[in-house]
C-alpha cells in the first residue's frame, strides 16, 4: 500500500515557482520548474546553461560514500574523513563555491578546529580582484541599480553571452528600468576584449585591444579622465587602439549619467592580474568625480560570492586563509590551494564541490593524487575518483535548500525541486565535524 502511495506521489506533476538557478553568478531566481518522477522536465525562463543544469540533472546511482573506492556506511566515511584531517600536519580545505552558505560555514568550522588552510575557487578566478579591492576599494552597486539606472555599460575581458547568458536581458542591457525606461535604447554598450567574442555582437562599440595590454589600456583611460596629455603613437602601439578612440570612449563615459564596468577573468587572469583589477577599480573610482560610475566583477560559480562572504565573516579574510598557528592568517600565493599543492606542502585535503583534478596545474594534481583527501560532489569527477573518502552528495538548489549569494552579494534562498537519496553537503560536513570534535576533544560549549 505504501508503495502505491509513493508511486502516486512520484508521478504527480509538481511546479516550483521562483526557483533559483545556481549554475553561474547571475543566480537567476525566477525559474519555474516542472517536476515529474523526480526529474525536472521543464525549466521556464532558464538560459541554455540553466536548462542544461536543471534538465540533465539525474541522481547518481552510486553509493553515497566510498572509502578507498569501496562502498561504505556514511558514518564510517565521516569517521575516516575526520581521521585523515586530524592526523595531518598541513590539511587544506578547498572549493566551496558550488555549495550553499550553510555548508560553507561548517567547512570553515572544520578548518578552524583542525588548523587547516582554507581556500575557495576565488583564488583561481577573481582572487586578484579581491586583492585589488584591498588596495583601492571598489565603487559598486547591486544589479538592480544597473537595470534601473545604467546608461553606459562596459564589459571588459568578459563574455557574458556565453558565460552568463541572461546577463544582458535580466540585468545589464535590455531591462526597462526606472531611469532608463526605453531599455536597450537608453543604453550604450561597449566591449573591450582581446578577441571578438560572441558578446561583441551586443556592443555599440567594440575595442579589440592587444593581448596582455589591459593595464596599459586602463591606465590610458585614467590619464584621459584627468586630462593628462598622452603620446598618440605610443598609446596605439601599446594598446592596439588609436588614442582618438580612447578619447571618444572617455567622452562617452563622462557624458553618461550612470556608467558600469563589468569585468571578467579576461582581465583578472591575464598578465598583470591584480594590477589589472586595481587599474579598473581605480578608473571607476576616478570617474565618480565627473558622474556616477560603478564596477562589478562577473563572478562565475553559483555561490562563489557566498564563499567569499562566509570565509570573510568567520576569519576576516575572504580566501587563502591559514589556521596552522591557531588563528587566521592571509597570504595569497602562500595559502592559496594551487600553490600549497604545487609546492607539495599539504598532506591532506577536504575538497568541497570543486574539481581541482580537472583544472589545476600538473604539479598540483600530482601532489593531490599523492595525499589522502576527502571529496564531496554530486557527480563522478576525476577529483572524486582519486579521493580516499568520496561522498556523493545531493545537488544544491535542485535537491537541497540553503542560501546563495549572487555576484553582487545579494543573498537568495534556494527552493529544492525534489529529494535526493544522497545527503547534503551540510549533512556530510556536520558528520565529519562531529568526529573532528570528538577526536580533538574540542567543541563549542
Placement of cell 598609446 in the chain: 235
Q: How many CA atoms, within 13 angstroms, populate the side-chain half-sphere of residue 333?
A: 5
Contact with another protein (CB under 8 A) among 51, 79, 105, 274: 105
Size of the site for another protein (CB under 8 A): 72
Strand pairing class (321-322; 348-352): unpaired
DSSP E strand stretches across 171-249: 188-193, 205-208
Dihedral sign computed on CA atoms, order 283, 289, 290, 296: positive
Cα(241)–Cα(220) distance, rounded to whole angstroms?
A: 11
Q: Near another protein by CB under 8 A, which window of 137-145, 268-276, 348-356, 390-398?
A: 137-145
Backbone angles phi, psi at 272, to 5 degrees: 105, -30
Contact with another protein (CB under 8 A) among 22, 109, 338, 400: 109
Contact with another protein (CB under 8 A) among 91, 95, 130, 302: 130
For position 143 contacting another protein by CB under 8 A, the verdict is: yes
Q: How far is the CB of 417 from another protein (least distance, A)?
A: 15
Contact with another protein (CB under 8 A) among 313, 333, 370, 385: 313
Helix (H) or strand (E) holding 375: strand 373-377
| Beta strands across the sheet bearing 292-297 | 205-208, 188-193, 152-156, 258-263, 292-297
Contact with another protein (CB under 8 A) among 14, 314, 379, 434: 314
C-beta closer to another protein: residue 20 or 420: 20
Contact with another protein (CB under 8 A) among 161, 330, 359, 439: 330
According to CB under 8 A, which residues from 251 to 310 bind another protein? 257-258, 285, 288-292, 294, 308-310
Contact with another protein (CB under 8 A) among 127, 328, 356, 416: 328
C-beta closer to another protein: residue 10 or 179: 179
Strand pairing class (348-352; 373-377): parallel
Helix (H) or strand (E) holding 344: none
For position 100 contacting another protein by CB under 8 A, the verdict is: no
According to CB under 8 A, which residues from 145 to 204 bind another protein? 145, 147-149, 170-171, 177-179
C-beta closer to another protein: residue 238 or 409: 409
Helix (H, G, I), strand (E, B) or coil at 10: helix
Contacts of 306 (CB under 8 A, 6+ apart): 97, 100, 101, 104, 403, 404, 405, 411
C-beta closer to another protein: residue 379 or 415: 415
C-beta closer to another protein: residue 87 or 288: 288
- Which residues are registered as beta bridge partners of 44? 32
Interaction pattern, residues 332-371, with another protein; x per rule: CB under 8 A: ----------------------------------------
Say if residue 85 is exposed, middle or buried (CB neighbours under 10 Å; 0-12, 13-18, 19+).
Answer: buried
C-beta closer to another protein: residue 66 or 143: 143
Tell which residue, 415, 377, 411, has the closest CA to residue 309: 411
C-beta closer to another protein: residue 118 or 203: 118
Q: Near another protein by CB under 8 A, which window of 111-119, 151-159, 346-354, 375-383?
A: 111-119
For position 378 contacting another protein by CB under 8 A, the verdict is: no
In eight-state DSSP terms, residue 305 is H
Contact with another protein (CB under 8 A) among 185, 228, 326, 362: 326
According to CB under 8 A, which residues from 13 to 52 bind another protein? 17-18, 20, 29-30
Interaction pattern, residues 408-437, with another protein; x per rule: CB under 8 A: -xxxxx------------------------
> Grid coordinates in use for 102?
550553510
C-beta closer to another protein: residue 133 or 219: 133
C-beta closer to another protein: residue 82 or 147: 147
Backbone angles phi, psi at 66, to 5 degrees: -125, 130
Cα(22)–Cα(405) distance, rounded to whole angstroms?
A: 10
- Which residues are registered as beta bridge partners of 67? 70, 389
For position 85 contacting another protein by CB under 8 A, the verdict is: no
Amino acid at each position: 500500500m505504501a508503495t502505491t502511495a509513493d508511486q502516486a506521489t512520484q508521478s504527480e506533476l509538481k511546479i516550483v515557482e521562483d526557483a533559483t538557478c545556481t549554475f553561474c553568478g547571475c543566480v537567476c531566481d525566477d525559474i519555474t520548474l516542472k517536476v515529474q518522477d523526480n526529474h525536472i522536465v521543464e525549466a521556464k525562463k532558464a538560459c541554455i546553461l540553466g536548462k542544461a543544469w536543471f534538465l540533465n540533472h539525474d541522481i547518481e546511482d552510486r553509493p553515497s560514500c566510498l572509502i578507498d573506492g569501496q562502498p561504505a556506511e556514511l558514518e564510517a566515511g565521516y569517521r575516516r574523513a575526520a581521521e585523515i584531517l586530524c592526523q595531518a600536519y598541513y590539511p587544506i580545505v578547498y572549493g566551496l563555491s558550488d555549495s550553499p552558505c550553510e555548508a560553507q560555514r561548517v567547512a570553515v568550522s572544520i578548518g578552524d578546529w583542525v588548523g587547516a588552510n582554507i581556500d575557495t575557487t576565488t583564488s583561481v578566478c577573481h582572487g586578484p580582484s579581491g586583492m585589488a579591492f584591498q588596495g583601492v576599494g571598489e565603487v559598486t552597486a547591486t544589479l538592480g541599480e544597473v537595470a534601473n539606472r545604467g546608461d553606459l555599460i562596459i564589459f571588459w575581458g568578459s563574455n557574458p553571452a556565453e558565460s552568463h547568458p541572461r546577463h544582458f536581458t535580466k540585468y545589464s542591457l535590455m531591462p526597462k528600468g526606472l531611469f532608463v525606461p526605453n531599455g536597450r535604447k537608453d543604453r550604450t554598450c561597449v566591449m573591450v576584449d582581446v578577441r571578438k567574442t560572441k558578446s561583441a555582437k551586443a556592443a555599440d562599440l567594440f575595442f579589440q585591444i592587444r593581448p596582455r595590454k589591459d593595464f596599459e589600456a586602463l591606465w590610458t583611460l585614467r590619464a584621459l579622465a584627468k586630462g593628462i596629455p598622452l603620446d598618440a603613437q605610443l598609446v596605439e602601439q601599446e594598446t592596439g587602439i588609436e588614442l582618438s578612440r580612447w578619447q571618444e570612449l572617455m567622452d562617452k563615459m563622462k557624458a553618461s549619467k550612470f556608467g558600469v564596468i563589468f569585468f571578467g577573468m579576461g582581465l583578472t587572469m591575464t598578465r598583470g592580474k591584480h594590477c589589472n583589477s586595481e587599474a579598473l577599480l581605480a578608473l571607476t573610482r576616478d570617474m565618480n568625480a565627473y558622474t556616477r560610475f560603478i564596477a562589478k566583477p562577473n563572478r562565475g560559480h553559483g555561490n562563489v560570492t557566498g564563499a567569499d562572504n562566509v570565509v570573510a565573516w568567520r576569519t576576516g579574510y575572504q580566501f587563502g586563509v591559514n589556521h596552522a598557528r591557531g588563528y587566521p592568517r592571509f597570504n595569497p600565493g602562500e595559502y592559496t590551494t594551487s600553490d600549497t599543492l604545487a609546492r607539495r606542502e599539504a598532506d591532506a585535503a577536504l575538497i568541497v564541490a570543486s574539481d581541482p583534478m580537472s583544472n589545476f596545474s600538473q604539479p598540483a594534481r600530482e601532489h593531490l593524487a599523492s595525499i589522502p583527501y576527502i571529496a564531496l560532489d554530486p557527480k563522478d569527477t576525476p577529483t572524486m575518483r582519486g579521493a580516499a573518502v568520496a561522498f556523493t552528495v545531493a545537488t544544491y538548489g535542485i535537491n537541497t535548500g540553503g542560501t546563495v549569494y549572487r555576484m553582487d552579494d545579494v543573498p537568495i534562498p534556494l527552493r529544492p525541486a525534489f529529494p535526493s537519496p544522497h545527503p547534503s553537503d551540510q549533512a556530510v560536513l556536520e558528520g565529519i565535524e562531529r568526529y573532528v570534535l570528538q577526536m580533538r576533544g574540542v567543541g563549542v560549549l
